[in-house]
Amino acid sequence: MRQVMNRTVKYFAALAGIAAFLSSAVSCTEMQPLEMQVDGAVKDYDAVRAFKATAHPLSVTWLSSWRADGAMDTYLSALPDSLDMVIVESGYSELSHAQETDLGSVRGTKGTKVIISVDFATMASEYDEAVLQAEMDGEDKAFEAASKDDPDGEPTDEEIEAAVAEEMKKVETEYAARFASATDNAVAAAGRYGYDGILLKADELPDEFFRSGVSSAVEKFSVAAGLLLLEGNIEYFLSSLDRFDYLISTVSAQDRLSAYQEEYDRLSRNDNFDPAKYLVYISLEDSDYATPYPDVISSRPLTDPKYKTLALWNPSGGDPAGGLALRGTASDASDGYGILRKTIQYLQLK
């Protein structure tokens, strides 16, 4: 009986010892977690920067909202390492610490050029509306003045023109200030943060006053340090193409490959046109980019998507274009990001 009790006591003592050991092990694990480090593939950024310094077709994209606020689609550094140039459309005037770190990473580590955009296209649309309103206000005031002493009185054409001219002076004063502000702010931001250049966006030049404002901006941008790019309707600027380092036409049709050849041929007639500055453009927002161009001549069924065909395209009867600008990319999660990576790979095959 005593032997049985001794064995029972030893059994429970052993269990208690095991429980104490396990409790100690769990406690130790909770207090001091095991750290495991898994090294990812080492990226050779020296090679990336060296390649970008060579002559090759450029890859360019836009970032519409740069905030570096935790969401991947707000970071420059979320874009492909092999991207040559990114155009920032907003959020570049006053940078947070996170943005400055992001900027330093893509420019210094990856060698990606960061360009800031000045949007005169939207300003032109607003200017058109302001001019129309000035014409209506001027005419109303002319009729009001004519009927002040005579209820049936009507203004002469000269009186209407004079009243409209007075209203137009107000519009021109406002927009002269807006031109100066937009231009000076961009030049100041480029100098403050060391951006690689400025892009001027212009789809139309409504009248002589507006053309003069844009011309003054070109003058100021061209003497500022860095690159100068043009986005929009290139044919408005044929007399000053030599001022720009790169040209991105966004007004031609994107549903035919021949439309790019036609535009290239028109621009080539200008003595100031340099094909190496011309960046063909495709938008993932405005075109059915995943389908083939219908006007490609081939003995086999057409399967290549537009972005691949355009990346590999060379104009007929002229020097190659300088590269490709693709709009409509945002983050790792977006389809556009993958398309951008593929497009860059195709460009590098040329």
State the pLDDT confidence band at 240, using cuts at 50, 70 and 90.
very high
Phi, psi of 287 (to 5 degrees): -135, 155
- HSE (CB half, 13 Å, CA atoms) of 37? 1
What class does CATH assign to 59-347? alpha beta
Percent of the chain with pLDDT over 70: 85
Whether residue 6 is predicted with pLDDT greater than 50 in this model: the reply is no
Please name which of 271, 332, 324 lies closest in space to residue 83, comparing C-alpha atoms.
Answer: 324
Whether residue 32 is predicted with pLDDT greater than 80 in this model: the reply is no
Structural contact between residues 306 and 280, judged by C-beta atoms closer than 8 angstroms: no
- HSE (CB half, 13 Å, CA atoms) of 111? 15
Phi, psi of 344 (to 5 degrees): -60, -40
Whether residue 312 is predicted with pLDDT greater than 50 in this model: the reply is yes
Residue 71: the pLDDT is: 86
Please name which of 312, 230, 320 lies closest in space to residue 268, comparing C-alpha atoms.
Answer: 320
C-alpha distances in Å from residue 33, one per residue of 18, 23, 27, 29, 163: 21, 15, 10, 5, 80
For residues 184 and 263, give the distance between their C-alpha atoms in angstroms, rounded to a whole number: 33
Structural contact between residues 323 and 279, judged by C-beta atoms closer than 8 angstroms: yes
When mean pLDDT is compared across 78-82, 120-124, 149-153, 288-292, the lowest value belongs to 149-153
The pair of three-digit structure tokens given for residue 133, joined into one six-digit string: 């309103």
| Between residues 328 and 346, the one the model is more confident about | 346
Mean pLDDT of the chain: 87
pTM: 0.84
Whether residue 56 is predicted with pLDDT greater than 50 in this model: the reply is yes
| Between residues 311 and 8, the one the model is more confident about | 311
For residues 100 and 114, give the distance between their C-alpha atoms in angstroms, rounded to a whole number: 12
Please name which of 294, 203, 285, 302 lies closest in space to residue 255, comparing C-alpha atoms.
Answer: 294
How much is the average pLDDT of 51-56? 95
Residue 203: the pLDDT is: 93
Instruction: Please report, for the chain, the start and end positions of each structural domain, with discontinuous segments joined by +.
Output: 59-347
